[in-house]
Chains A and B, each alone.
Chain A
Amino acid sequence: MKFDTVIIGGGLAGLTAGISLQETGRKVAIVSAGQNSMHFFSGNFEDAGPAKERTAALFAAAGVRMSALEGVLLMPMGTFRQASLTLEDVTVFPDEHVAEKALIVNFTGFHDFYGTFLAEALEKRGTTCRIRFVRLPEMEHLRLSPSEMRSVNIARAMDEHWEKVVADIRILHKDEDLILLPQVFGLKDASVLDKIRTALPARVAFIGTMPPSVPGIRTQMLLRRRFELLGGTFLMGDEVTSAALHEGVVSSITTRNLDTVRLFADHFILASGGFFSKGLVSTPTQVYEPLFGLDIDYPEDRNAWYDADFFADQPYMDYGVRTDAQLHAMKDGEPMKNLFAVGSVLGNTRREDYGTAAGLAIRTAFAVADIIKGGNV
């Protein structure tokens, strides 16, 4: 099967590159081995840097609204981070004194939202907090199996019953100027967020939960839909098993599901993610990129791969596929002619040029899409 570009990986980097190419009428296929780390997304595009406006425009066309306000974000465990580009679910505060009084509302039995941590962090910064719980008869069935009291299941119930929760919160609310809620709203339709903000008598902030991330899943669905609407081919649940390489050129790849029907393309983009997504693999003796055997720099001494302090920056997070300046992936010291690497598979190897995390994903995706569109390969 012939495409202009085949992208390996259907996460943030793969979809951003795919949409960007498909917007100019190129024929793109994305091979996605299962869902991706968008399902763990905090909603903040860290390091988006110079790509802010462009990202917001691409996402807006897919139906994802964003904001690029300056300020800080309140993270799930009560820490703060600098805001970059954020999904509309995320509230940006001017500073860490987020309010005089805050009402933190959680669902009874929901263990993936840490009200006490939030309260502790906010109290330290001069915000008086009160934690209250709500429960709905419509959600009681989730409690039959405590492990299923998870963000997405609550969100599904909330898609239907959010008004009842809002009514309960209105009763709980006293004189607080801020109401904190877990991000379990608007799984299908983000317009619910604004409706809740309007319906409550104080400023509302939606705070991240433990995974899966409801805003992340919604964003993923909308981006995929946009890609397919533009004519892109999304091969979900399939994985690349081998690639045909010859003199620095990838001519085709083989996937598990399509086996003998190989995917041919002029360009290939590797957006297979980091260790979590198996775009990078480590064994007791080596770190490698499993599809093409691309070059990765890492020390031989395994003890140098990690820091025994669990919370320290881990050296292995820096390991990733080597590229040239135009993000051509390197193999045996030579850049591949038509294979690019984008997103987390780069590790932190391109921090200076493209940043890290979500910023790395979108900025490298745009860079490669531009190179391909410019024919300047």
Chain B
Amino acid sequence: MKLQEFTASAHNFEECMKCTICTAYCPVVPVNPRYPGPKQAGPDGERLRLKDPYFFNQALKYCLNCKRCEVVCPSGVKVADIIQSARIKYGQEPPKLRDRMLANTDFMGRLARPFAPIVNGTTGLGVTKALLDMSFAIDKHRTFPKYSARSFEGWLGRREKEQAKYDKQVAYFHGCYVNYNYPQLGKDFVKVMNALGIGVQLLDKEKCCGVALIANGMPQKAAKNAAHNVQVLQKAVDAGLKILTTSSTCTMTIREEYPELLKVDNAAVKDSVLLATRYIWQLLESGAARLKFKENYRARIAYHTPCHLERLGWGIFSTQLLKMIPGVEFTMLDSNCCGISGTYGFKKENYEASQAIGKPLFDQIKSVHPDFVACDCETCKWQLEMSTGYTVKHPISILADALDV
């Protein structure tokens, strides 16, 4: 008799035995008294919500969805999934215009790109910041990420033939950040892959992974994007390609959130969507490829594991790659959330909490005093650069810098 099969609960919430370990590791609890904590917001609250949706608590919006509760849970309860699912199911507050702006990363990117010099020049100005703060409640301490005048898609598109020459090929899910804000990371990725003898292709028109849409109360739109992305990923899989990524959050969203939160079936593509660091590490480890590094490369690097990479459990690939570079002095930073959590920290009402959450990490970076910080996440990069003054580089960009080509 397999009793357990018949007693499985959504996101394992019945497995919770109230040990409070999740609350002990939640980064929001110590800084935001309005947040009831993951145990209360998750499995405890779920019991009440199942009884009557009346018990849905608007304070669930303070959850960062950092997934740290899931990483530490000894009972395998998907605490953050319970909380986010409840927001999707019961959340009544329609997203504000500000939230729509923050959430639609690709739309905003397309809108801003043709005017990048003007937009970038303006968003940095005190008067614009004050205006955004007053009219949209986007905190004035934040600087909007810079937009690139040319998209990464355009850049790689122009190199289609050149990339097709390589025998081995991979597809690249670049995400909104590489496309609109920081094409250099995509270029670094292409440089490293080419050095490994691999050409890079675009997908057949990817859309934003949807993580910011989920966080800002637009799950239907996120599910639409997810369904579209699974389709274009499937095309790449059918063509025998792995799909590599450089964003830990996009990767976690596509692999984990699509089926868990958005109910979009990704089973046929999930195993083919991999972080580039994992793919490269495996290539090097198996001896199938080699990288030649500059002899005089020297760097003191402190590495920060983003929350979603921690959830994926793949931080080890980034750290192993960095340690592989001759001349690198490596320090592993303690496991802490930086506090930005995508669009969360941009909101005026979250600014103080966001900075308080990140403080232990900021302090540690300052005390380690590295040449620069390494991290796989774009929004951690903004947060850490703004809050510590240290440059933050993606492990792929560091590899690209250290390559002797």
Contact = CB atoms under 8 A, between A and B. Distances in A.
Interface in B262-290: 271, 278, 282, 285
B313 A258 contact: yes
A120 interface: no
B24 A34 contact: no
B1 interface: yes
Nearest to B319: A233
Interface in A1-17: 1
A141 B33 contact: yes
Contacts of A37: 74
Chain B CB count within 10 A is highest, among A33, A212, A236, for A236
A364 B39 CA distance: 34
B313 A34 contact: no
Interface in A276-310: 276-277, 283-285
Interface in A221-278: 225, 228, 233, 235-239, 255-261, 276-277
Interface in B1-23: 1, 3-4, 19-21, 23
A225 B1 CA distance: 43
Interface stretch (A101-109, A150-158, A348-356): A150-158
B334 A225 contact: yes
Contact of B21 (A39, A148, A235, A261): A39
Interface size class of B (residues with CB under 8 A): 35 or more
A142 interface: yes
Interface in A203-220: 211-212, 217
A237 B37 CA distance: 19
A42 interface: no
Contacts, number: 97
Chain B CB count within 10 A is highest, among A35, A141, A255, A258, for A35
Contacts of A39: 19, 21, 24, 74
B347 to A, nearest CB: 20
A144 B33 contact: yes
Given A236-B335, A237-B72, A284-B3, A1 B285 contact: yes
A24 interface: no
A36 interface: yes
Contacts of B39: 147
A34 B71 contact: yes
A147 B29 CA distance: 13
A376 interface: no
Interface in B108-161: none
B24 A33 contact: no
B316 A233 contact: yes
A226 to B, nearest CB: 13
B71 A237 contact: yes
Given A148-B23, A211-B19, A236-B71, A34 B36 contact: no
Interface in B322-340: 332, 334-335
Contact of A34 (B3, B20, B30, B76): B76
A150 B23 contact: yes
A216 to B, nearest CB: 10
B74 A236 contact: no
B291 interface: no
B312 interface: yes
Nearest to A157: B30
A211 B316 CA distance: 31
Interface residues of A, number: 41
Contacts of A238: 313
A212 B20 contact: yes
B1 A34 contact: no
Interface string A114-156: 0000000000000000000000000001101101101011001
B351 interface: no
A259 B282 contact: no
A97 B25 CA distance: 38
A147 B19 CA distance: 11
Contacts of A284: 1, 3
A238 B71 CA distance: 8
Contact of A236 (B4, B20, B29, B72): B72
A171 to B, nearest CB: 26
A37 B75 CA distance: 12
B106 interface: no
Contact of A150 (B1, B20, B30, B282): B20
A237 B314 CA distance: 11
Nearest to A147: B40
B319 to A, nearest CB: 9
Contacts of A260: 271
A217 B21 CA distance: 9
Contacts of B3: 283-284
Contact of A217 (B24, B36, B334): B24
Nearest to A29: B316
Given A212-B24, A237-B311, A284-B3, A34 B33 contact: no
Nearest to B34: A144
Nearest to A140: B33
Contact of B23 (A33, A152, A255): A152
B196 interface: no
B75 A34 contact: yes
A141 B33 CA distance: 5
Given A255-B313, A259-B271, 16 more contacts: A35-B73, A141-B33, A145-B36, A147-B39, A147-B44, A148-B29, A152-B23, A152-B24, A156-B29, A211-B19, A211-B20, A225-B334, A236-B72, A237-B71, A258-B314, A283-B3
Question: What are the 6 closest A-B residue pairs judged by CB atoms, nearest first?
Answer: A257-B313, A141-B33, A237-B71, A34-B74, A152-B24, A35-B72
23 contacts: A34-B21, A34-B75, A35-B25, A35-B72, A35-B73, A39-B19, A40-B19, A145-B36, A153-B29, A212-B21, A228-B332, A233-B316, A236-B71, A236-B313, A236-B335, A237-B70, A237-B313, A256-B313, A258-B313, A258-B314, A260-B271, A276-B74, A285-B1
